[in-house]
Structure 1
Amino acid sequence: MKLKLSLILLLASQLGRAQDMKFARKMVDTLTSPYFWGRGYTNNGMGKAADFIAAQLKSYGLKPMAGKTYLHEFNYPVNTFPGKMEVAINGVALVPGRDFIVSPDSRGVTGEGKLVQQDSTHFVDAVNRIMVTLETKLTWSAEQTVLDYTVIQLDKKLQTTLPKTIKVDIENTFNPSFKAANICGVVKGTSHPDSVIVFTAHYDHLGGMGSKTYFPGANDNASGATQVLSLARYYGQHPQPYTMAFIFFAGEEAGLLGSKHFTENPLIDLKNIRFLVNLDLEGTGVEGITVVNASVFPKEFALLKQVNEKGNYLVKVNSRGKAANSDHYFFSEKGVPAFFMYTLGGIKAYHDIYDISATLPLNEYEDLFNLLLKFNEGLMGK
């Protein structure tokens, strides 16, 4: 009988893990799909993603953090590229995202002209106010301002000759007040509801560059958003002594804008936050994780290391000091104890069209999930 019971428990455990991985893969696939168009500034990508995440939190039984809505709205200026994105160099049409990107603060331009070489990597069409650069990697971003010229970055590995002529048709639209929203939900604590543990991740990415090219953002940061959704789903079914809070930030790619807005307009008392864990770039992990603020909060880092060693979850947990490199930062500046964790190893795609779900391994998704559960137990003194 004991043998049968052990076998049943083992099978149930394996089935649960398989279901968790199926859930994770489904979430990453969904968030990186064309429907969400890079969760950015064109085709209502970010708005669609916000509505989707809010619906997920509701389905898990979470309550809005404040009022009747999960959305914590704000706005900011941003430069966008919703339409034509056509570039030809030396008479050869280039493919957006693969062959070139435009600097995200570029103005739109239509015209053709000759390029004058400035140095080994810079070429200028002074008439049309265009600069062409040769880059080892095409890395896009989001900008809140617009230049009075246009910068076009070429992948120099794909250029067989020096750029001499250019023809362009690029459309931009500057939005002085783009409407965005953080998504915020809670599971109220059973015995210490005023003590709060917070999990955060940004759900926005770069959106589209033109009408035919978008940046899926699988590792950055569908992976982190998925891990926080997984935790929200778990704690929705398993309330804890402390309140568990979940925040999905918008505007991270434009400058940590969502987290800055939340800390300046908090929906919960920041002094009640026992600890905050921010998750970004969570899709790999074969070389472990790095923990920003580890040296700032040595007691909690020691607990995390102890939990990891006991559970044998990750091969390494690296310490890093203070850094303004993700959404934990403005919380730390307000006195909130916080870690930012990111995984190491594996794929190198970042802020490009190759950061896709199909090549995102999620190989330490389960181990990180379990590490965080046990870390929370330690924070709550369980």
Structure 2
Amino acid sequence: MRKVLIISLLLTSLACYAQDINYTQKTLNTLTSKELWGRGYTKNGMSKAADFIESQFKSFDLQPMDGKDYKQRFMFSVNTFPGQMDLSINGKKLIPGKDFIVGQASVGIIAKSNLEQKDSVTFLDAKNRIVVVLQDKLTWSVAQKVNDYTEIFIKKSSLSETPKSLAVNIENQFIPDFAASNICAIVQGATKPDSVIMITAHYDHLGGMGKDTYFPGANDNGSGVSFLLSLAKYYAANPQKYTIAFICFAGEEAGILGSKYFTENPIVPLKNIRFLINVDMVGTGETGATVVNATQYAKEFAALNQINNEGKLLVKINPRGKAANSDHYFFTEKGVPAFFLYTQGGVAAYHDVFDKPETLPFTVYENLFKLFVGFNKYLMN
């Protein structure tokens, strides 16, 4: 009965919570801008994104999590492509990102050669150790190593004939000690500051492939960061009895490295975290959302669903079990109760150059905001 009463009171008060949608859209445009260059490993993209997020926390008057510095610094290895990214097939020049991508662990190469067909989609230049593969869709990623060969993936629809020859000039640079930072801030709790609700999202994306092509990363995960910053702005103006903590992680695309580093070097005691909610790819939502770890924390998931259903916020919230697919994972492994929420429906762009802010409708952002505020109040009661 007490639980029902609490949730009823929460639903009554949800109407007075409003997300600043103009701020959210402006933030997303900044995060996906050419200036931040895909929030990645060339042209200081990730560093510029980190500075921007830090500036937002400061503007809201959030405090550094350790009381001194918003940035938790760490390093990891990464293969990058800062310069030339030129490819011609059968004399036709192809466009990086749209017509072709290079395998993320590829070594750089300059070559002109004929290709040997191995099967319907695979072609080889054995002498120069080049593999060409035709694909229906191009998706890129990040590698922490360099192979001794070069992979090139070409969109099938970009070619009108079978690849017979190529001319290629690809530059790679392996960085063994790339410097990155998690950005960490808190709104101190009024009466129970040692009890923490943590909201997280990764801010890194794929960066650039060559000197002229970058991956905006609007849904993945500019949407999550802009949503997190909107919540940070709200909670800065409306402190709660629990401490509300915010972390924007680096290194997620390279293997959820930032969150792994934080759990191994926690700035706040992990035992103090009442609950963690990670958001990654929340820019859609026409068909609802999915929560990873729903089966692990059935009581909290039931409450989340009740708040959602009675408030008519999202179409539905699908339960999913444990999965190592975002920054919640290493927290769960350390015993921290955590959800990972992502929305569904709408655009299908993922890890490609078409994941742009203008493709995201913002149709459920405000209701998702209300859902989070309501769920956090439930956790504190």
Measure the CA separation in 1 of the matches of 2:227 and 2:129. 44
* 1:240 partner SS: coil
Match of 2:254 in 1: 254
Cα displacement string for residues 296-337 of structure 1 (whole angstroms, at most 9, x for unaligned residues): 000000010011012110000100000000000000000000
Q: Is the 8 A contact 1:112 1:128 kept in 2?
A: no
Match of 2:334 in 1: 334
Query: Aligned ranges for residues 324-363 of structure 1 at < 5 Å?
Result: 324-363=324-363
Query: Aligned ranges for residues 1-382 of structure 1 at < 5 Å?
Result: 17=18, 20-381=20-381
Number of positions where the alignment pairs a residue of Structure 1 with one of Structure 2: 367
* 1:219 partner SS: helix
Measure the CA separation in 1 of the matches of 2:67 and 2:145. 34
Coordinate RMSD, CA, aligned:
1.1
Q: Give the AA of the match of 1:81.
A: F
Measure the CA separation in 1 of the matches of 2:232 and 2:380. 17
In the TM superposition, residue 351 of structure 1 has moved relative to its aligned partner by 0.2
Cα displacement string for residues 50-109 of structure 1 (whole angstroms, at most 9, x for unaligned residues): 000001001111100014110000000000000000000001110000000000100000
In the TM superposition, residue 244 of structure 1 has moved relative to its aligned partner by 0.3
In the TM superposition, residue 127 of structure 1 has moved relative to its aligned partner by 1.2
Q: Give the AA of the match of 2:78.
A: V
* 1:157 partner SS: helix
In the TM superposition, residue 367 of structure 1 has moved relative to its aligned partner by 0.6
In the TM superposition, residue 128 of structure 1 has moved relative to its aligned partner by 1.1
Q: Give the AA of the match of 2:104.
A: P
* 1:47 partner SS: helix
Q: Is the 8 A contact 1:79 1:144 kept in 2?
A: yes
Task: Identify the range of structure 1 (208-217 vs 22-31) with the bigger mean alpha-carbon deviation.
Answer: 22-31
* 1:262 partner SS: helix
* 2:296 partner SS: coil
Q: Give the AA of the match of 1:76.
A: F
Measure the CA separation in 2 of the matches of 1:112 and 1:370. 57
* 2:335 partner SS: coil
**TM value normalised by structure 2:** 0.95
Measure the CA separation in 2 of the matches of 1:126 and 1:240. 63
Measure the CA separation in 2 of the matches of 1:362 and 1:255. 28
In the TM superposition, residue 159 of structure 1 has moved relative to its aligned partner by 1.6
Unaligned ranges ≥5, structure 1: 1-12
Q: Give the AA of the match of 1:359.
A: T
Cα displacement string for residues 182-235 of structure 1 (whole angstroms, at most 9, x for unaligned residues): 000001100111100000000000000000000000000000001110111000
Q: Give the AA of the match of 1:350.
A: Y
Cα displacement string for residues 236-283 of structure 1 (whole angstroms, at most 9, x for unaligned residues): 010001000000000000000000000000000000000000000010
Measure the CA separation in 2 of the matches of 1:143 and 1:38. 16
In the TM superposition, residue 358 of structure 1 has moved relative to its aligned partner by 1.1
Measure the CA separation in 2 of the matches of 1:37 and 1:361. 22
* 2:375 partner SS: helix
In the TM superposition, residue 111 of structure 1 has moved relative to its aligned partner by 0.8
Measure the CA separation in 2 of the matches of 1:262 and 1:199. 14
Measure the CA separation in 1 of the matches of 2:358 and 2:346. 13
Measure the CA separation in 2 of the matches of 1:372 and 1:86. 46
**TM value normalised by structure 1:** 0.95
Measure the CA separation in 2 of the matches of 1:108 and 1:239. 51
Q: Give the AA of the match of 1:339.
A: F
Match of 2:3 in 1: none
Match of 1:9 in 2: none
* 1:176 partner SS: strand
Cα displacement string for residues 129-188 of structure 1 (whole angstroms, at most 9, x for unaligned residues): 100001111000000000000000000122211110010000000000000000000011
Q: Is the 8 A contact 1:123 1:133 kept in 2?
A: yes
Measure the CA separation in 2 of the matches of 1:63 and 1:331. 22
Q: Give the AA of the match of 2:319.
A: S
Q: Give the AA of the match of 2:206.
A: L
Residue identity over aligned pairs, in percent, reads 59
